[in-house]
Amino acid sequence: MPSKKNEKPVTAGEAMENLQDLLAELEDIGATHDELDLLNDVLGAPEYVALGEVYDILTLQLPQPEEEQAAGSLHDILDILSSQRSPSQDVEELLDILDNPHIRSLIYTHDDVSRKVYDEVFTDDMLLAAPPPPVFDGVGEQHRFVTIRKNGKEPLGITVRLDDDNVPVIARILQDSLADKQGLLRVGDIVKEVNGIAVFVPEDMMIVLKEAENSITFKIVPSALDQQFSDPVYMRACINYDPVVDRLIPCKKAGLPFREGDVLDVVDMTDENWWQAKLADMPNAPVGLIPSRTLQEKRNAYVTPELTKTKTSLLCGLKTKRKKKIGYNSAETTDFDKCDIKVYEEVERSNSHRCTLVLVGAQGVGKRTLKERLIRSNPDKFAAAIPHTSRPKKPNEQDGHGYYFIPAEKMEAEIKQNMYIDQGEFGGHLYGTRLSTIREVIRAGKICVLDISARSLKFVMSPAFKPFVIFIAAPSVEALKVMHNEKKRLNNNEHRTEVSDLFMEERFIHTVKESKEMEKTYKGLFDEVIVNDDFDNTYHTIIEIMEELSKQHKWVPVEWND
């Protein structure tokens, strides 16, 4: 009788127990011992037992996945945890765990399995047939045997591809890898055999390489390509990169993960899509694959998830390719900064003198107070650029002392000509810092200290100003309260309640939120990040940093030294 739809199928073992019970009943109704022995022999035969095991496998009901978009849930959880104002130690630990590349890889694998996204399985009858022998017009191939010695499972550091004739060739050799150090293989070498086994597709070759332990012998046709050598190129990363989640990389294990701000020593740029690089500030760092500028700019040409406002999987290369046109609004350039497709910035070590010190931070974080203290305490070293304003001059004011006073029409025209680094309106009047006043401070031999909005950084990132940018990050809301109360105490106002104190909590929450958003968007432009949880400590830290700048070589854009 067929089982009901939701009933669990009977296993082979359970069926065997039922048959044993039936055998006992057969004896009761007159079956002979010979007949029972025959049935026992049949049921106990290895073929019958194996048939039962096959039946169990075919009828096995695998559990259904509870969630097919776990990567999306992980993204939401990370957003929620990151948005907490004052995360506890447990929350920070959970963030570190969930942001671990291995955990993310596990989540992506879970989603692939639940959606049954499997790699194609190659069987012997599916492999490409051996290509016909090539014709060389009387000139035979010059075969060469190359033996590379290895230790255990140490990777060779090569990738293989099929060329236009469906012949496996060496696609790239990672610098400082085992194959590179022994120098016996070259890019473009045609691989005929590996350890005496003919190979026709890269998959064949990988199987043989995995099984080999002590040495590997290649039968190759040497490459006719000229070996190219290039001078070292250093790039500062303007993005984060994790090869584990990159669906386009030829070999995930060969990928080099890096963070925004890391300086990369790019040792090979011959491949159009994949460069070879290592971390420049780490001695004996391994060489790995990174996406080329061209490849990454193609990816970044599509609008980021923050701008499309649609939920997508975290899987790299599988996001919906939707473009979005955005109308320009000069008052809100943050979205355009987020869409900036800058991937790498070429840099070099230099002890070049910095002409400007730029303090960037959220409103209310204390950057202006720090600027004034720096100038007041070190007037021979630091100076401010005198701002311009369209406000009418008061009777006791002089032009060039505190402000430069100019007509509103002229200032509006100069703003349209991009003559100001930062500008705004207050009380119906325009205020701004003209680029020419910054140059005047530099020509006087002093470091010009600027406190500007983050979106104005693009105007000073040039050889003329050679800025050193310090982001003054907001501490926790509680730390801001303590600093506020301490400031009132020093000013003998601790018992006086001001109107602004009534909205203190809201202001501090807004400051912390704005600070996090600013750091996330503009982090690639910052040279240093200082959490301002104590004004004195922050001030002394800035002084120490500026003193070290004159002694040490720093990474700066190459055009600064032209």
Q: Are strands 467-473 and 356-361 parallel, antiparallel or unpaired?
A: parallel
The CA distances from residue 542 to 55, 261, 363, 383, in Å, are: 73, 20, 19, 15
**Closest by Cα among 349, 369, 373, 350 to 361:** 369
514: tokens are: 């704005």
**Closest by Cα among 555, 354, 386 to 465:** 354
**Closest by Cα among 562, 376, 372 to 466:** 562
Instruction: Find all residues with CB under 8 Å of 282, minimum gap 6, and list them.
Output: none
AA letter at 482: V
What pLDDT is attached to residue 426? 86
164-186 pLDDT per residue, tens: 778 888 887 777 777 777 777 77
Q: What is the pLDDT along the chain (562 residues), one digit of tens a residue?
A: 444 445 566 777 777 777 777 777 777 777 777 777 777 777 777 777 777 777 777 776 667 777 767 777 877 787 787 777 777 888 888 888 887 777 877 887 887 777 766 554 444 444 444 444 444 444 445 677 878 777 766 777 787 878 777 888 888 777 777 777 777 777 778 888 887 788 777 777 777 777 777 778 888 888 766 555 556 789 999 888 999 888 888 888 888 999 888 899 988 888 888 888 888 888 778 888 899 988 888 887 654 444 444 333 333 333 334 444 333 344 444 444 554 557 888 888 877 677 899 999 998 888 998 999 999 999 999 999 999 999 998 888 888 888 899 999 999 999 898 889 888 888 889 999 999 999 899 888 899 999 988 888 888 888 888 899 999 999 888 888 877 777 766 665 555 555 455 567 788 888 899 999 998 888 888 889 999 888 899 999 999 988 888 777 778 888 776 5
353-381+446-556 adopts what CATH topology?
Rossmann fold (3.40.50)
386-435 adopts what CATH topology?
Guanylate Kinase phosphate binding domain (3.30.63)
Strands lying side by side in the sheet with 382-384: 382-384, 447-451, 356-361, 467-473, 528-531
Total Cβ atoms within 10 A of residue 497: 9
Triad 345, 297, 249: Cα angle to 5°: 100
What pLDDT is attached to residue 358? 93
Whole-model pTM?
Answer: 0.54
What pLDDT is attached to residue 531? 92
Torsion sign, CA atoms 441, 447, 453, 458: positive
- Please report the beta strands in 399-546, taking only residues with DSSP state E, as ranges in sequence order: 404-405, 420-426, 429-434, 447-451, 467-473, 528-531
Strands lying side by side in the sheet with 554-557: 288-291, 274-279, 263-268, 233-237, 344-350, 554-557
The counts of H helices and E strands in the chain are: 17, 21
Domain borders along the chain are 12-59, 70-114, 141-221, 233-323+331-338, 353-381+446-556, 386-435
Per CATH, the number for 233-323+331-338 is 2.30.30.40
What pLDDT is attached to residue 291? 92
- Is it true that 141-221 and 353-381+446-556 share their CATH fold? no
What pLDDT is attached to residue 297? 82
Architecture of domain 141-221: Roll (2.30)
